Structures are given as C-alpha cells and as structure tokens.
C-alpha cells in the first residue's frame, strides 16, 4: 500500500543523487531530528495553542517523519504494512486489555 | 490509503480506553521517543553492524514510529497522503535539482 | 570548574577501554538518546505526576545527559563554562528583554 | 560547583519573566530539542566533517543542552554534582570492568 508514495519519494531522492547519503544510520538520525522538529511546535504550549499557532508546520513535519520512515523501510526492504500489523499484535500481548484498560503505565510496570 | 491501518490502530487504542491520554502534545512526545528507540539500535555501530545485530528491533521500532504518526494524523484529521505529496512538492522547491545535486547541504546553505 | 567531574568520567571510560567508541557523532547520538530517556518519564503525564512517580529515574537520566555533555566537551576540547557564558550573552541578544518579556515566542517570531 | 552558572541562567530567565513557562515537562522537552539541534550538526556527515563545518554551532548547542540541564536541576532542586557521582557509581555496577572491557554492548546484553 505504501509503494506509490515510496516511488515518488525515491524519484525525488534520485533526481538529486542523494542515495549516497541515505545509509540507515543517517536515516535513523534524520527521522529522529524530524520528530523533534514536529515536537518543537508544542514547546511551552498546550496542544490547543500549538494547533492554533502551528498547524501548517505540524502537518509538514509529520509528513517529513513519514517520508523518512518510508525511505528507511525502502532501504532496509521492510514491508511496512506487515511490520505495523505485526507490531500491533505484539503490543496487544504486551498490553492485555484487562491489565492496561484506562492505564498509561508502561508494560514493564503492569501488575499481575 | 492509510485508513485500514488507522482503523486497526484505533481499535487497539479504544479497547484499552487510551484515547484520554492521546492529546497531540503527548503523541508528539511519544513519536519522538519511538524515533529515539529506533536510533538506539545504531548507537556505537555502523549501519551494517546495527542491521546484523538488531534488524528485528529496527523493524518493530520503525513500525511504532509510523503507528504514532498515524494516530497523530487521525487525531488532527490530517490527510497524511496529501500532506506527504504536498511536502515533496515543497521540498522540490527548497532543493532545486541544479543546486542540490549530489550535495547534502541544508537548503539554507545552498548557494546561488 | 567541570574538570574534577570530567576526570572521574574519563577514568570510568578508560577502565572499560571505551574511548574507541566515543567519536563525537556517536556521543551526540547518545546525548540525544539520554535526553529522550529523561523525557520518557513525562510521557502521558503532568509534571507533578511524573515527579511523584519517577523522581529517582529523572535524577539518573539528567545525570546521564550531563555526563555525555561533559564527555563531548572533553573530546572536542570545549571549555564548557566559557561556552555557556558565551551562549547566555548570545541568547540575551536574540531575546532582548523588552521584546521577549513574558513571551514564549521563538526569537525568529519576535516582532519589532 | 554549578551554583554560579545556575545563578547567571536564572537571572537571564527572570529578567524575561520566563519562569512561568519552565515547568519540568516542558524543560525536558526543550532539553531533548536542544540535543537534537546538536545532533543535526552531524547529519549526513562523519564526525570530522561535522567538526570542520560546524564547530561553532556544536559549541553553542552543547551549551544550550547544559543550560537546560542546569535549569531542570534548579527547578527540581537536584544537586547535579551528587547526581552525577551517584550515576557513575551505578554505571560502574551495571558495567563491571571484566565484562564490559572493550565492548559497546548494553548492560542488558552483557554475558556472564
């Protein structure tokens, strides 16, 4: 399902001959940097104020995060859709409904 | 195109009554934390060694990053596909092919 | 003023023969990862709840952040005390009192 | 040992009436953002190239990281010097010399 978007992003990259820079370690760094730029929109603010002030930039930075995620999945030949479905199943086991209902605790802190 | 995945993620969330925690600011924090957990796989290592040692965890953390990105797009009613296409167009203008070909410079440092 | 602490940290590092891993790029990655681990204590929580639940871990992670900052300053031969004083002076110019009083705006958004 | 620097930073803050924004959660966010800005200097580059191109900015961003760390220690009344010494002792136990010598493995992966 992500293939058409990945194709567009790879075309953008290849026109600029940027594949040479896109090793997985630097892609992971870049993904983290873009996530921080997204978060910066919420610095010193409530969610509501951040959205009022910065929604356009929030949309752009969220897009950048996913663009780098798609580039990394492409570089590592990860089927992202399968990976997400598998992770939801794993999270379902880490966070059983009866123990985690209405709780924000980390799975390591869930009590028996 | 992201709707079926978002539906699965929202079901996972709602079964646990977690919507109450998922305000956009905390989602942005969580997205940044997951991006760091992805990056941690590359700490002190080359890309190759990281992949050899940690590919399973890399796949899981990349999935978590995209899961939070999808949750945020859902919460803010962002059409993520449109947002990505729009951002590619913006990046194309920020990084004209003739100035950025083969260069890793930031757009603010591209010379006329 | 940071020298005695740096000496202790370098001794800890050298006993384990870890200097070989501590190139500046990986130190910058590690500093960012530790800052995220600090932030994780505040995920889904108010400041007050985070402190009630996690103050011991907050103290430890804040210490780790500064340990990596000191290692990086040592590696790059940066006089951290001078650097901080210089940065306060720079910030004073970027954020003149009359324009930034009581405002959380970024310096690029301060109005004339 | 950090008191004189903290005093300067708090004076800078109070002249601008910024204490109102500096709750611990937002300080933790800001510390993470500054660590990312430091890391950005190393994006797509070797350590050597990053230092050649960006050493002035690296110094400034490292200073910002420590400034926020000092603000947080002040806000939470953490004795940062004691915290660092305590964390070095903890790390010494997590990473015994005989098991961690010359190894970049995480303590959870150290073998008996």
Here the CATH number for the domain that contains residue D55 is: 1.10.287.1080
Confidence check: pLDDT of A111 > 80: no
Residues 35-64 of C with CB under 8 A from A: 43-45
Kindly state whether residue C111 falls inside one of the protein's structural domains: no
Alpha helix positions (H), chain B: 3-15, 24-40, 47-75, 80-94, 97-100
Tens place of pLDDT for every residue, chain D, 112 residues? 799 999 999 999 999 999 999 999 999 999 999 999 999 999 999 999 999 999 999 999 999 999 999 999 999 999 999 999 999 999 999 999 999 999 999 888 887 6
One-character DSSP codes across chain D: --HHHHHHHHHHHHHTT-GGG--HHHHHHHHHHHHHHHHHTTTTS-HHHHHHHHHHHHHHHHHHHHHHHHHHHHHTT--HHHHHHHHHHHHHHHS-HHHHTT----GGG---
Q: What's the pLDDT band for B108 if we cut at 50, 70, 90?
A: confident
Q: Quickly state the pLDDT bin for B112 (edges 50, 70, 90).
A: low
A109 within a domain of the structure (yes/no): no
Task: List, for residues C77-94, the tens digit of each pLDDT value.
Answer: 999 999 999 999 999 999
B17/A contact by beta carbon, under 8 A: yes
Q: Quote the mean pLDDT of chain B.
A: 95
Give a yes or no: residue B107 inside a domain: no
Note whether residue D104 is domain-resident. Answer: no
The pLDDT assigned to A112 comes to: 61
Tell me, yes or no, whether C26 lies in a domain. Answer: yes
- pLDDT greater than 70 at residue C47: yes
The mean pLDDT value of chain A amounts to 95
Band the pLDDT of A109: cuts 50, 70, 90: confident
Please indicate, yes or no, if residue C14 is contained in any of the structural domains: yes
Contact D104 B32 (CB under 8 A): no
Which residues 6+ apart lie within 8 Å of A2 measured at CB? A70, A73, A80, A81, B1
pLDDT of res. C112: 61
Sequence-distant (≥ 6) Cβ neighbours of residue D24 within 8 angstroms: C42, C47, C50, C51, C58, D72, D75, D76
Domain count, chain B: 1
Q: Using CB atoms within 10 Å of the CB of residue D103, give its burial: 0 to 12 exposed, 13 to 18 middle, 19+ buried.
A: middle
Q: What is the reported pLDDT for B107? A: 87
The mean pLDDT value for C20-36 works out to 97
Instruction: Enumerate the residues of chain C whose CB falls inside 8 A of the CB of residue D21.
Output: 104
In-domain check, residue C85: yes
Task: Give the distance from residue C11's alpha carbon to the nearest chain A alpha carbon, in angstroms.
Answer: 29
| Rounded distance between C-alpha atoms, residue A49 and residue D111, angstroms | 49
Residue C108 resides in a domain: no
Q: Which domain holds residue A11?
A: 3-99
Which of chain B's residues have a Cβ under 8 Å away from the Cβ of D43? 104
């Amino acid at each position: 399902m992500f293939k058409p978007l990945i194709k567009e992003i790879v075309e953008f990259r290849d026109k600029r001959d940027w594949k040479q820079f896109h090793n997985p370690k630097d892609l992971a760094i870049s993904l983290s940097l873009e996530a921080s730029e997204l978060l910066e929109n919420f610095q010193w603010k409530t969610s509501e104020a951040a959205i009022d002030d910065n929604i356009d930039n929030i949309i752009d930075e969220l897009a950048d995060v996913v663009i780098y995620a798609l580039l990394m999945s492409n570089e590592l030949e990860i089927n992202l859709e399968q990976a997400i479905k598998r992770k939801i199943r794993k999270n379902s086991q880490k966070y059983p409904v009866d123990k985690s209902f209405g709780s924000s605790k980390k799975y390591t802190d869930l009590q028996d």
